[in-house]
Amino acid sequence: MNVPAKPAANALRRRFLKDVAGAAGGACLLALGATVYARQARALPPLAIRPPGALAEEAFLGACIRCGLCVRDCPYGSLTLAALGDGVVSGTPYFTARDVPCEMCEDIPCVKACPTGALTHDLHDIRKARMGLAVLIDQENCLNFLGLRCDVCYRVCPVIDKAITLEKRHNPRSDRHALLIPTVHADACTGCGKCEKSCVLPEAAIKVLPTRLAQGASDPHYRRGWDEKAKAGGSLIGEQVQLPVRGLEETTVPGATP
Amino acid sequence: MSAQHPGRDAVVAKGWLRAHKWLLMRRSMQIGILAMFLVGPWFGWWIVKGNLAASRTLEVLPLTDPFVFLQMLAARHVPEMKAVIGVLIVLGFYLLVGGRVFCSWVCPMNVVTDAASWLRRRLGLKGGHAPHAATRYGVLVAVLMTTALTGVQVWEWVNPVSMLQRGLIFGFGLAWVIVVGVFVYDLMLAGRGWCAHLCPAGATYALLGRWSLWRVAANRRSACNDCMDCFAVCPEPQVIRPALKALGQQHPVILDSHCTNCGRCVDVCSQNVFRLGSRFNRSEQ
């Protein structure tokens, strides 16, 4: 029997198995850690807004190479490159509107700086940027909702009268005055955050949120009767009998055609 | 010639300066490159913008890191021209001088792992067990596959190489934890474990290094006195033997793509066995 050869071969085999097991174990741990981390990191914190032209978050995280050139070329220092632990994926650019909003440069230098197109170079008109959507989130403390004429968010809006309009409502408290309600329109709001930045309250009543948080969605099969009626040039089901509502004969319903 | 103090004989034979020539040049290069990125944010002198992942020098020269570029492609993103031009320039450069020249002359992690390796030698630490040197290619494949599956550059969440330089230029956050982690791993668990066994960026650059013109050669190998100092300092000691001891090859040129061209073997050899030069110069003295 060749006794001395056996332990040597065994030792080699043992070492090899240990190597493989160690590597596999390490890889599994790393993968597990990365997955857990990935799940957390993928959810962008709601107040972190991506620069103009940023692809949808998943695609953005595949395309952005974390070089920080957009951060460097932002003339207003709006953008920050996230560091590990910031809650935003490390190395990716974002801004916090309440600190420094996007100033909506006409030539969009951050997009031009991006070497990969994670900020899409198809964006030529900054007004077409959709970084997020402003939402007047606190209707209890907003001064305009209280009947005062603050209007600051409306005045600073770079897309004034399109992205934010003042809508006249009745003020039921005094019963004599109007409420001028700042109203955001998603078809024009770029999410630049100037309104949030300038809100005079200690905590902004209007905030820019990622569109996925700010906006609901209508089911595509929904039809609005009045739109269809206007499109068809008349009621689709013929004239309806108008019945009086008891007690309200003298008042007009808001929005109804007289 | 003790393993704890390799290069002592070289200092006696050649003087301190000549025994540290390549090391000093390398450190100046590493610090110089970092400084070029830093004088912008520090003093407003914008020589280079960005970081090693992608940069713009003097507003004209775009450079892109091939490994990061590869991850981006794996994530199925079609890049703009700027990134493509940048990566072509970088690829051309490293094909010429040797892929892993990045590792020893540019990468800031090199300073960290060199420090860990030096301390490990000094303290005479022998513990731990480094994974197989080919593990890095496994990591590279795993990184690219995970990226392709998720469509997200997963490795960049933890990549110490990009994180260290980005941290220095743009702010660290908690990234220092990862850097310290690599230092401790290299010090306690696996000598040269990170750069020579695991790092997928290094693996990518090693793939580029196959045809590089600039190589180390043991052209005075007959003078070798077997002091083993070169093996002690070399980050990839396995690359030396074929050239120095004529194992599997006749000529004295180190052609292994894992050689980082750091030139430390040239420094620490008291017998002047090694030199850095063209891969085609196979002459011996």
What are the residue boundaries of the structural domains of chain A, listed by start?
41-129, 132-214
Q: State which H helix or E strand residue A70 sits in.
A: helix A69-73
Per CATH, A41-129 and A132-214 having the same topology is answered yes
Residue A211 CA to residue B225 CA, distance in Å, equals 71
Among the residues of chain B, which ranges form H helices? 8-14, 21-43, 66-74, 81-97, 101, 109-122, 135-150, 160-170, 175-184, 193, 200-208, 229-233, 240-244, 264-268
Residue segments in chain A with a per-residue pLDDT below the cut of 50: 1-3, 258
d(CA B41, CA B51): 12
Q: Which pLDDT score is estimated for B1? A: 45
Q: Inspect the interface and report whether the beta carbons of A62 and B54 lie closer than 8 Å.
A: no
Q: How far apart are CA B139 and CA B45, in angstroms?
A: 38
**B147, A62: Cβ pair inside 8 Å?**
yes
Query: What distances in angstroms separate CA A217 from CA A183, A213, B184, one per listed residue?
Result: 18, 11, 51
Please tell me which residue of chain A has the smallest CA distance to B197.
A23
Going from the C-alpha of A109 to that of each of A75, A188, B179, the distances in angstroms are 8, 21, 33
Residue A214 contacts B, CB cutoff 8 Å:
no
- Residue B106, number of CB atoms within 10 A of its CB: 18
Q: Which of A194, A197, A164 is nearest to A181 (CA)?
A: A164
Instruction: Write down the pLDDT at residue B189.
Output: 85
CATH of domain B8-18+214-278: 3.30.70.20
Nearest to B103 by CA among B240, B231, B207: B207
Region for residue B173 given its phi and psi (left: phi exceeds 0; alpha: psi -120 to 50; beta: otherwise): left
In order of A102, A187, B232, B242, B243, the CA distances from B265 in angstroms are: 53, 65, 9, 15, 13
User: How far, in Å, CA of A66 to CA of A64, rounded?
Assistant: 6
Looking at residue A180, what DSSP letter applies?
Answer: E
- State how far residue B38 is from chain A, nearest Cα, in angstroms: 12
Q: Do B80 and A121 touch (CB under 8 A)?
A: yes
- For residues B89 and B97, what is the distance between their CA atoms, to the nearest angstrom? 13
Shortest CA gap B146–chain A (Å):
9
- Contact map slice: A 221-250 vs B, CB within 8 A: none
| Number of CB pairs, chain A paired with chain B, less than 8 A apart | 145
pLDDT in tens, chain B (285 residues): 456 788 788 888 888 888 899 999 999 999 999 999 999 889 988 889 989 888 998 988 999 999 999 999 998 888 888 899 999 999 999 988 888 999 999 999 999 999 998 898 888 888 777 788 888 888 888 888 888 888 888 888 888 888 899 988 888 888 888 889 889 888 888 888 888 888 899 999 999 888 888 889 888 888 888 888 888 888 888 888 888 887 888 888 888 889 999 999 998 888 888 988 888 888 877
**Chain centroid to CA A66:** 20
When scoring B136, B140, B154 by the number of chain A Cβ atoms within 10 A, the one with the most, hence best to mutate, is B154
Q: Does the CB of A11 have a partner CB in chain B at under 8 Å?
A: no
- Dihedral sign of CA atoms B186, B192, B197, B202 in order: positive
The answer to whether the Cβ–Cβ distance between A42 and B156 falls below 8 Å is no
Cβ atoms within 10 Å of A255's Cβ, excluding its own: 6
Contact B197, B132 (CB under 8 A): yes
Nearest CA in chain A to B60: A113
The domain locations on chain B are: 8-18+214-278, 24-207
- A113–chain B nearest CA distance, Å: 9
CB contact under 8 A, B157 and A34: yes
CA terminus-to-terminus distance, chain A: 111
Q: Which CATH class is domain A41-129?
A: alpha beta
A53's CB contacts (< 8 A; 6+ apart) are A108, A110, A111, A114, A119, A120, A121, A122, A123, A129
Contact in structure between A70 and A119 (CB atoms under 8 Å): yes
Contact between A208 and A94 under an 8 Å Cβ cutoff? The reply is no
- What's the ipTM? 0.85
Contact yes or no for A65 and B153 at CB 8 A: yes
Q: Which two tokens stand for residue B215?
A: 């190589």
- Comparing CB atoms, the residue among A22, A34, A61 nearest residue B131 is A22
Contact criterion met (CB below 8 Å) for B242 and B221: no
> A81 vs B170: CB contact, 8 Å cut-off?
yes
Q: Are B188 and B125 in contact (CB under 8 A)?
A: yes
The length of chain B in residues reads: 285
CB spacing of A72 vs B40 below 8 angstroms: yes
- Residue from the list B50, B82, B178 with its beta carbon closest to the beta carbon of A68: B50
- Evaluate whether B163 touches A84 at the Cβ level (below 8 Å): yes
CATH class of the A132-214 domain in this structure = alpha beta
Touching B: A residues 77-136, CB under 8 Å: 81-86, 89-91, 113-118, 121
Q: How far apart are CA A154 and CA A234, in angstroms?
A: 37
The answer to whether the CB of B72 falls within 8 A of the CB of B146 is no
Of the candidates A190, A207, A209, the one whose C-alpha atom is nearest the C-alpha of residue A198 is: A207
Beta partners for residue A183, in sequence order: A165
Phi, psi of A218 (to 5 degrees): -85, 145
Q: Phi first, then psi: what are they for B217, rounded to 5°?
A: -130, 140
Q: Using an 8 Å Cβ cutoff, are B212 and B95 in contact?
A: yes
Q: In whole angstroms, what is the distance from residue A69 CA to residue A71 CA? A: 5
CB contact under 8 Å between B75 and A62, yes or no, is yes
Chain A: nearest CA to B266, how far in angstroms? Answer: 33
Nearest to A144 by CA among A166, A161, A172: A166
Nearest CB partner across the interface for A65, out of B72, B150, B177: B72
Name residue B196's amino acid.
Answer: A
- Tokens 């007047």: give the residue: A136
H or E element, residue B64: strand B61-64
Backbone angles phi, psi at A22, to 5 degrees: -60, -45
Query: Rounded to a whole number, what is the distance in Å from the CA of B94 to chain A's nearest CA?
Result: 20
Nearest-10 crossing angle of helices B200-208, B81-97: 70
Q: Tell if the CB–CB gap between A67 and B55 is shorter than 8 Å.
A: yes
pLDDT tens-digit map of A107-155 = 999 999 999 999 999 999 999 999 999 999 999 999 999 999 999 999 9
Reported as a single tens digit per residue, the pLDDT across A183-197 is 999 999 999 999 999
Among residues B119, B230, B264, which one has the least CA distance to residue B185? B119
Tokens representing A69 are: 């050139």
